[in-house]
Structure 1
Amino acid sequence: MAKPKIHTMEELAEAIGVSRPTLSRYFQDPTKVSKSSVARIVDGLERVEYTPNFFATRMNRKTTGLIGVIIPYLNDLFFTLLLEAIETAALRAGYTVITQCSHADPAIEKRAAETFLSMNVDGAIVAPLGDNSDMDVYARLNARLPFVLMDSRPKALRDVDFIGSDHRQSTGAITEYLCRVGPPPVFLAMPRVNFNALEREAAYIEKMHELGHEPQIVGARLYHEHDHFEAHGLAVLDDMFARGQLIESSILCANDRVAIGALRAASQHGLEPGAQRKGGLRIAGHDDYPLCPFTTPSLTTVAQNVTAIGQTAVDRLLEKLRAENISENQVIRLMDGILKIRESA
């Protein structure tokens, strides 16, 4: 027999036989309701079909139990893993994550931040686009609620708490490794779409000078307007390999997605990175993108500690929500990268 459908709290209160305020308190916190009322409500909910309105049950709370998260891309598995780490940590702490994607568009990113303000989320964790972001909306976000940056740090937001990777350490480690096993690497850059690429480029230059080598950077400009990441790596090296350039070089890519495009270019030109049967070509990346072990050849890279970044970002946000460590002006926590040596280098 089908259960009767209940659409409103008023209808539900009447059907169960409790007052509307009692029912509201039950959905907010059952410990604030008498045991007899809890038993009556639980029994009543068994007899009807009713789903509480998530936002309505939180309207009168001091906390919504919501954490807003903004990421720049939905089609990037790095951010998928980062979001998974954040959601896992937030759920353990009793919070619900609301995710917005900026789709690499500053206007959409601004609207996402404004949405969080209008929803009165308890706090926000943001992976920003960069200097193209609307800094005014982030200033309002930072003034209104606890706010933590992760993954990338715009210059205008240097006073905001930040959790991310130590690109100086990680890029230095893989640059040093490539210098040890082959010729000093060329750095395959990417268009200036985020700060991480610029930090890694600077770290590469610093390490090359430290080791007594001359840095060489290629691919800093777009070959085609919409060629980012894989398409950019493919376009740059397809052009250079066709002209006989870099075919016996070590190539350090700004990230793994660029490196995947670089591997594709090598394959199209009959080159075998790491195998050395066609010369000394080596290709390496950065991030340990989940597909890296499954490329052909498998991609040597340096892994970001995604789980630690997500957990630490949530931990810091919870400290701010609880007003812990408020004497600290700012917290910056950088995670070391770990070399993942595979077939490509």
Structure 2
Amino acid sequence: MSTTTPGQPTAKQARRALLASSGIYIAFALIVIALAILSPAFRTPENLINIGRQIAILGIASFAMTFVILLGEIDLSIGAVASAAGVVTALALAGDFGFWAIPVALAVGAGFGLLNGLLTVYIAVPSFIATLVSFFIAQGLALTLTRGQTIIFSADWFRELFATGSVFGLRAAFLWVVVMFVVLWWLLARTRFGAHVYAVGGSQDSARMLGLAVDRMKIAVFTMAGALMGLVGMILIARIGNARADGAVGLEFDAIAAVVLGGTALGGGYGSLLRTLVGVMLVGVMNNGLAILNVDFNTQQVIKGALVIGIVLIDRWARDARRDRS
């Protein structure tokens, strides 16, 4: 005989809701423990610092992707856009543009983001296709500018500002991800803009009935995401001191994985930047651990493919759990 009252979730529903809300933390803890046992090198302070540097790029890209997915959209262009912005920045630095290389990089990223927004809103191209078009354009631009070569630049101030410098022992690249997290978390969780992002992602029709500027919101979010990719491109080239046309290609896969693993619904309207940060750490730790364990590239791809399947299942379970509780 059931002891639940009408409207009260069953024990099974409660367990599913708990898994949906806490699964990411459990998975992260288990993966860290497993890697620490399998590889003593993983738990060294030097490697932990290295992980912090590595997740700087993924972190900012994932924060940008969170805003896009919260709207119910997707952005497949971020890796190519970051690569193109990095190439343009490296050429500007090599050409003695000095400080002006920074706004140039941000403008390149924002320009591609604006293109994504305009294609999605005014030409009614699904964001999957619109951002794929931008991917090819950005990749073509980077390849044309580099002619397949690596662009080397010399600008110590730039590298210190975006990667190699440190404050209180923390590298600049890591500090950038911290600053961006704080700013974007405040924007999403504490401002009217963030509330409108959730409203549009939850139901565009309802948002329009409330008088929200849905089209302008989409354009603004895509443009912001592009500008953040300009920052990612600068951090990327500052870390290694050169730029390649394919420097960040593939970043979109890890960013989507981190965002959805963090619990953001692919359909939009539900998610948080804090949980995305946990997803970023999970993906970053996994990438680092696989490299330390000398797992070959092909096997890594298989593991990441399995992760995609897991992401879809987690997202479905989370949606079912939220529906059961409502």
Q: Please indicate, yes or no, whether the TM-score normalized by the shorter chain is above 0.5.
A: no
| TM-score, scaled relative to structure 2 | 0.27
Q: Which has the higher contact order (CA 8 A, sep 6+)?
A: 2
If the length of structure 1 is used for normalisation, what is the TM-score? 0.26
The structure whose Rg is larger is 1
Larger relative strand fraction: 1
Of Structure 1 and Structure 2, which has the larger fraction of its residues in helix?
2
